[in-house]
Structure 1
Amino acid sequence: MKLFRRLASATLLALAGTQAATAQSVAVAVAANFTAPMQKIAALFEAETGYTAALAFGSTGRFYAQIKNGAPFDVLLAADEKTPAKLVEDGLALAPTRTTYAVGKLVLYSRRPSVVDDKGDVLKQVQTGKIAMADPKLAPYGLAAQQTLQALGVYEQLEPRLVMGESIGQAYQFVATENALMGFVALSQVSAPGQTQPGSSWVVPQALYDPIRQDAVVLARGKNNPAALALLKFLQSQAAHDVIRSYGYGLGTTP
């Protein structure tokens, strides 16, 4: 009888563990520019709460289309504030959970040390070489790059030399592999804590493009998932803020 009770208890514990494991996971769609910091934050989140985060990285525009088509994500960390707002309007996200987790910064970057000057004058001087940027229709950082070129009055002149990436991650790869002479990327991609990226860069003045307020939101699928709500709360913690700042982002507030 005692053996039976022990076996029964073990079976119940195993079943409970399986159910808990399912409930303790959150599927997160993350804007490509936030790849490195989110990987660190996810590890801290798991250590602090016991919940795990399954991360997928890509362009905000692609994620919007996927979520509209039923993609199984619980949380979106977008590269803008408009996409989460649209998802709320579509009934696909929870309005009270929407929060600005970071404010992004745009950088013109080249792997070559002597290409990009500290004022961005290279955009008006160099007549050859490809310039990478994310697609403005899909990625907020791409839109910021387009706004920068337009504000400088060089967009039409440089348009034939532009190479579009689907996401800021792909734009960075064009530059990192030197398939493009230079490109507009996120500051976080070239200012990782404790690492020095070879090359030259110019941090674009924020007066040249609309603020890149990056919002997070719990999606309809994550409504009853405690791990999803816990992740949004953790993004506002001191531990998460320290990581976010260390990658060059500003901190936001709830819209």
Structure 2
Amino acid sequence: MIKLITISSACLALTLTACSKEQTAELVQSDTDNATEQSQTLRIAAAANLSDVLPEIIAAYQADKTPPAQAIDVTYASSGKLYAQITSGAPYDIFLSANQEFPAKLAKEKLDNAKSADEATHESFTYTQGQLALYSVNKSLKGLNTTTLNALLMSESDSKITIANPELAPYGKSAQAYLQSQNIFDTLTEQSRIIQAENIGQAFQYAHTGNVDYGFVAQSQLTAIKATPEQFYTLAPDAYPPILQDGLVISDTTAATDFSNYLRSPAGQQYFSDAGYLAIE
């Protein structure tokens, strides 16, 4: 009987040792996985109009984390160009567009290409709404309204007006839609007065450097430089198609989901409001 008890005790000790080693291995693997994810850089593809506000949001997000959040790398370009890069395999974790169309298309494509029904996919989300403004460093825009704005643009036959590429940049698309709704886009085009920029960032540079007389730009860009009242006119939000800006989490990393949630949090939304965007519900 004593021998049996001794053997049973030995077997129990071996079993507990094996379990302990297995649990330790699982914990080590879990810690390794967490450390690996923490050390990886979070890659964000962001619309050009976000270049002024996103760095502040990222800094606040990283400062709010304990331990500090992982490194974040941002590529700014037109939404259409970023969409093309992502569909070609660019390794981004989050796509922040200046419209709703590109994230929705990308989400559908990812769902259609999912290898199984269980494969994780994400839905697009709205994180802010942009405002369109006319900007000039050459001419005073003080006291303008819709009627006088159209008269101003049409009366100066030699003035140049820049808009972002409507095919790639949502701000350019809304600017074109506004000019068309006022029945002046075709005339301006025929007079070769519209200078097309690749994205909203380039459109702002054309106007800011005085290379063109007027530029349809993002209100956030003007807020960032503290433009004076006579330098810009903010168009009424109902005067052009809403510039609802959507995003999409592309990868399955925890950090990508966490950052996208921060964008929509009260703290994240306050940064957008302060930067010249409209609040989202």
User: Normalising by the residue count of structure 1, what TM-score does the alignment of the two structures yield?
Assistant: 0.85
Per-residue CA deviations over 1:134-169 (Å, capped at 9, x if unaligned) read: 000000000000001001111011111111111100
Paired residue type of 2:212: A
In structure 1, the residue corresponding to 2:43 is in which secondary structure?
strand
1:95 and 1:136 mapped to 2: Cα distance? 29
Q: Within 5 Å, which residues of 2 pair with 1:228-247?
A: 228-247=256-275
Mapped partners of 2:240, 2:74: distance in 1: 29
4+ long deviations beyond 6 Å: none
Q: 3-state DSSP class of the match of 1:91?
A: helix
Secondary structure at 1:217's aligned position in 2?
Answer: strand
Deviations 1:108-133 (A, max 9, x none): 11013525652223223222121111
Q: Write the deviation string for residues 16-67 of structure 1: whole angstroms up to 9, x where unpaired.
A: 59625434x3100110111111010011111112323211111000001100
Name the % identity. Answer: 33
Residues 1-255 of structure 1 mapped to structure 2, 5 A cutoff:
19-23=36-40, 25-49=41-65, 50-51=68-69, 52-91=71-110, 96-115=122-141, 117-119=143-145, 120-121=149-150, 122-159=152-189, 160-192=192-224, 196-198=226-228, 200-219=231-250, 222-223=251-252, 225-253=253-281
**In 2, are the aligned partners of 1:106 and 1:185 still within 8 Å (CA)?**
yes
Comparing 195-204 and 106-115, the one that deviates more: 195-204
The answer for the alignment partner of 2:7 in structure 1 is none
C-alpha displacement at 1:98, in angstroms? 1.9
For the pair shown, which has the larger CA radius of gyration, 1 or 2? 2
**3-state SS of paired residue (1:100):** strand
Q: CA RMSD in A?
A: 2.2
Name the CA distance, whole Å, in 2 between partners of 1:179 and 1:162. 12
Q: Secondary structure at the match of 1:114?
A: coil
How many residues align? The count is 234
Aligned partner of residue 184 in structure 1, secondary structure: strand
Contact 2:136 2:215 in 1 (8 A): yes
Relative contact order, higher structure (CA 8 A, sep 6+)? 1
Structure 2 segments unaligned to the other structure (5+ residues): 1-27, 115-119
